[in-house]
Amino acid sequence: MPSISKRGVEVPLSPFRKLVPIADKVKAEGKHVYHLNIGQPDIETPAAAMAKVKETDLKILAYSAAAGNASYRAKLVDYYAKFGTEITADQVVVTTGASEAIQFLFLACMDHGDEMVVPEPFYANYNGFAHIADVNVVPVTCDLEDGFALPDAKAFEAVITPKTKAIFITNPNNPTGCFYPEKALKELAQVVKKYDLYLFVDEVYREFCYDGQDFFSVLRLEEIENNVVVIDSVSKRYSACGARVGAMVTRNEELIDAVVKYAKLRLSPPGLGQILAEGALDMDDTYMNEVKQEYDRRRNVVFDRLQKMDGVISYLPGGAFYCFAEFPVENADHFCQWLLEKFEYKGSTVMLSPGEGFYATPGLGVNQVRIAYVLNTTDLHAAMDCLEEALKVYPGRIKVGQWAEGTAVV
Amino acid sequence: MPSISKRGVEVPLSPFRKLVPIADKVKAEGKHVYHLNIGQPDIETPAAAMAKVKETDLKILAYSAAAGNASYRAKLVDYYAKFGTEITADQVVVTTGASEAIQFLFLACMDHGDEMVVPEPFYANYNGFAHIADVNVVPVTCDLEDGFALPDAKAFEAVITPKTKAIFITNPNNPTGCFYPEKALKELAQVVKKYDLYLFVDEVYREFCYDGQDFFSVLRLEEIENNVVVIDSVSKRYSACGARVGAMVTRNEELIDAVVKYAKLRLSPPGLGQILAEGALDMDDTYMNEVKQEYDRRRNVVFDRLQKMDGVISYLPGGAFYCFAEFPVENADHFCQWLLEKFEYKGSTVMLSPGEGFYATPGLGVNQVRIAYVLNTTDLHAAMDCLEEALKVYPGRIKVGQWAEGTAVV
């Protein structure tokens, strides 16, 4: 029997993946599990967008252009303009989800052994894509104490080497929910310019910025137009994760050419998904406003409830639909497994993502978790009831006195 | 401005890609171009399958399982059973087109610098996927004289080294249309067994076997159950190239596990495409029988017409919808470009794929082309009229006497 490749054995997985079989088992046994572990919202995909798919008179579902349908790319240009970003359709490549955009960029911008600086904690699948491209993730650590704000220029410069080719950030952030304001991005731009690096920014959560904060796209940064690349997706924006439609946007013509070569290899992004995505762009703002308000309500539920839990340290996230929190436990991985296997409250339990897997630095995040507030407020309260009760009775809870009072850092 | 990676500069493209801008230009100028260069059929996607998409009552287009929807995988099992293949749903991973299945396999089965033996000419994008995975394609040359039949065991053994991890074939073949019978596959199986290699077989054209030949899936080969992997796609079968739904099938559990890890990184194959694909599997055989008959008619048109062209050497392809041919020209690349730029017949011309790019061995296929018979017989005849006329007047035509009479090898 032929063997699996070394890399196939080593490919890193998302932090909660090993908990999935356990969750499946206890659900089969009748326990209800509130899933706060994955970014799969319970929000409906806009019916108006689905209707465009249902109304199509397409006779042949042919390959679209490798870079995506011209009509969809044109509408994306108008969409980005709403955020003060002037680009052209030639500067957009439609991809099979943001995942594919990331893979194309890693390949087109970096060679084997090159380095990319990423603030940690970060979306854990970046590790897997870096593994495929054979490039190295170099972390810059963010702090829970300031809500995981973007590190300053000095912190980035401290880890830049001659092998560094890119800085990769997510704004608003997954997994922390941190919103990066214009000022912080402009400071980062100076680093990008100084070392002539690529700046990859995953902006898939741009619609979800709270507290009246205006989203600032890095495509608006001046003097580094050829360095900036935005990664996008319709998955979260329209709760259409299964559409598998993403995009990359850059003014760097050489990079577009290189990415399109990779796009041509796989021939075409999904055709039906592009019809849906185009339909979503035809809508007015009603859907998005409602969704944003809903996430804002959920955000406050999670924040309020965590704040009241003894020993839990968290903060009010400024964007996306995630929150990171520190728990009074020795090992959040064990706690998350225990939650599924050993705990139940009113017939239910909650599934969270252990924090450690979102860090590249060994030993960090061991007592932290990511919470995705992707359930309606009723379910979210019920999930928080479970969590509150669980933290009281968990055998691995840190003893009183070992920890300061739970303090929420806003 | 940051530079493109070395690999991003070097990534190899499909043989006809550089002709696309030329074709676009002359079309804009009013010339009609018959596209026989790409495997995009003019056949309609089954309306019954499209109807399943239109009838869906899905409220949330969520991520499907990373390995694909359970309902679709179950139906694929029944579909493969029609070809005498007994497999289970756990042995199927749904992918984003065959392209993604190939990429997952290269990563999961081979490490950097490993080798894979591929009969040439072969589907040129395999080069690109090998480039991404940083593995080497080692060719075994097939001959036009015997219709590009599968080379014998000795030919494969001659190029196997300690670095060889896999043999990769396409049956029926793209770009040659060659049908590999059971006997040839069983001979190859002995090589696979002797060296304990993976055997990847792209079977996406299995429905299109002519002259009463029965398709034999390598999943039916005994003693090498853990070596065999089938690559599949709905693109050509249902003329649904834009659905982006493929699959890989293997009885090797370790390989399934490794591939599913890569599948989890990109979260999910396209959801709407899976609904369409499932709808296609609900149909009776009427659609497929009609499509197969139509391709058979086209096959005969191409064969008959080529046979009558002075100096052209070709053969009757046994499957798929491609034919390779040798032209009385010094350089088919130049000829294909000249066809677009300098030639027209009744306001039209024809676009073909130059043959050289389908070979890994330098210098082979220089005077060959691939013809994809993806147009209806009326258009196909018109395209052949163009080709026939063009070969008469092409300035780079080899002089009489330099070539034997055109002989068709059946």
Q: A364 has which bridge partners?
A: none
Contact flag A42-B60 (C-beta cutoff 8 Å): yes
Strands A348-351 and A115-120: unpaired
What's residue B51's pLDDT? 97
Q: What domains appear along chain A, each with residue ranges and CATH number? A: 6-44+298-393 (3.90.1150.10), 47-281 (3.40.640.10)
Contact flag A8-B58 (C-beta cutoff 8 Å): no
Nearest residue to A2 (alpha-carbon basis) of B355, B258, B286, B285? B258
Of A60, A100, A112, the CB nearest to B44: A60
Contact flag B114-A5 (C-beta cutoff 8 Å): yes
Nearest-CA distance A127 → chain B (Å) = 9
What does R_g of chain B's alpha carbons equal in angstroms?
Answer: 21
Give me the residues of A, 178-197, that contact B with CB < 8 A: 196-197
Contact flag A8-B261 (C-beta cutoff 8 Å): yes
Confidence band (pLDDT; 50, 70, 90) for B400?
A: low
Of B11, B134, B276, the CB nearest to A262: B11
Location of structure tokens 């780079």? B396
C-alpha B28/C-alpha B17 separation (Å) is: 17
Contact flag A240-B1 (C-beta cutoff 8 Å): no
C-alpha A355/C-alpha B278 separation (Å) is: 38
For residues B335 and B400, the answer to whether their CB atoms sit within 8 Å is no
For residues A157 and A183, the answer to whether their CB atoms sit within 8 Å is no
Paired tokens of B80: 């493969």
Nearest residue to A34 (alpha-carbon basis) of A401, A407, A385, A402? A385
Residue B19: its H or E element: none
Chain B residue with minimal CA distance to A195?
B2
Paired tokens of A9: 């054995």
| List of chain A residues whose C-beta atoms are within 8 Å of the C-beta of residue B129 | 265
**What's the whole-number mean pLDDT along residues A3-13?**
93
Of B8, B59, B109, the CB nearest to A45: B59
Location of structure tokens 């009776």? B284
Largest interatomic CA distance in chain A: 70
Give the predicted TM-score (pTM) of the model: 0.94
Chain B residue with minimal CA distance to A47?
B59
Confidence band (pLDDT; 50, 70, 90) for B285?
A: very high
What's residue A400's pLDDT? 54
| List of chain A residues whose C-beta atoms are within 8 Å of the C-beta of residue B8 | 107-109, 258, 261-262
Choose the weakest-confidence range: A38-47, A113-122, A313-322.
A38-47
Paired tokens of A321: 């639909």
C-alpha B374/C-alpha B295 separation (Å) is: 8
For residue B406, pLDDT beyond 70: no
Contact flag A265-B128 (C-beta cutoff 8 Å): yes
For residues A192 and A227, the answer to whether their CB atoms sit within 8 Å is yes
For residue A405, pLDDT beyond 50: no
| List of chain A residues whose C-beta atoms are within 8 Å of the C-beta of residue B198 | 2
For residues B158 and B123, the answer to whether their CB atoms sit within 8 Å is no
Say if A99 is an interface residue toward chain B (CB within 8 Å).
yes
Residue B369: its H or E element: strand B368-372
Nearest-CA distance A98 → chain B (Å) = 9
The string of pLDDT tens digits covering residues A15-53 is: 777 898 999 999 999 999 999 998 788 999 999 999 999
| List of chain A residues whose C-beta atoms are within 8 Å of the C-beta of residue B278 | none
For residue B68, pLDDT beyond 80: yes
Say if A130 is an interface residue toward chain B (CB within 8 Å).
no
Location of structure tokens 């017949």? B345
**What's the whole-number mean pLDDT along residues B51-60?**
96
Give me the residues of B, 317-356, that contact A with CB < 8 A: none
Beta strands per DSSP E along A11-146: 32-35, 92-95, 115-120, 136-141
Nearest-CA distance B179 → chain A (Å) = 25
Of A45, A62, A114, the CB nearest to B60: A45
**What's the whole-number mean pLDDT along residues B215-219?**
98
What's residue A409's pLDDT? 38
Give me the amino acid identity at A369. V
For residues B200 and B170, the answer to whether their CB atoms sit within 8 Å is no
Confidence band (pLDDT; 50, 70, 90) for B14?
A: confident
What's residue A17's pLDDT? 77
Say if B253 is an interface residue toward chain A (CB within 8 Å).
no
Choose the weakest-confidence range: A288-302, A387-401, B315-329.
A387-401
The string of pLDDT tens digits covering residues B89-106 is: 999 999 999 999 999 999
Residue A388 has, within 13 A of its CA and on its CB side, a CA count of: 16
The residue among A3, A5, A58, A129 with the most chain B CBs within 10 A of its CB, best to mutate, is A5
Residue A58 has, within 13 A of its CA and on its CB side, a CA count of: 25
Size of interface A-B (CB pairs under 8 A): 241
For residue A403, pLDDT beyond 50: no
Confidence band (pLDDT; 50, 70, 90) for A407?
A: very low
Handedness of CA A87, A92, A98, A100 (dihedral sign): negative
Say if A107 is an interface residue toward chain B (CB within 8 Å).
yes
Nearest-CA distance A381 → chain B (Å) = 22
B365: left (phi over 0), alpha (psi -120 to 50) or beta: left
For residues B123 and A289, the answer to whether their CB atoms sit within 8 Å is no
What is the rounded average pLDDT for all residues in chain B?
A: 95
| List of chain B residues whose C-beta atoms are within 8 Å of the C-beta of residue A226 | 1-2
**What's the whole-number mean pLDDT along residues A95-109?**
98
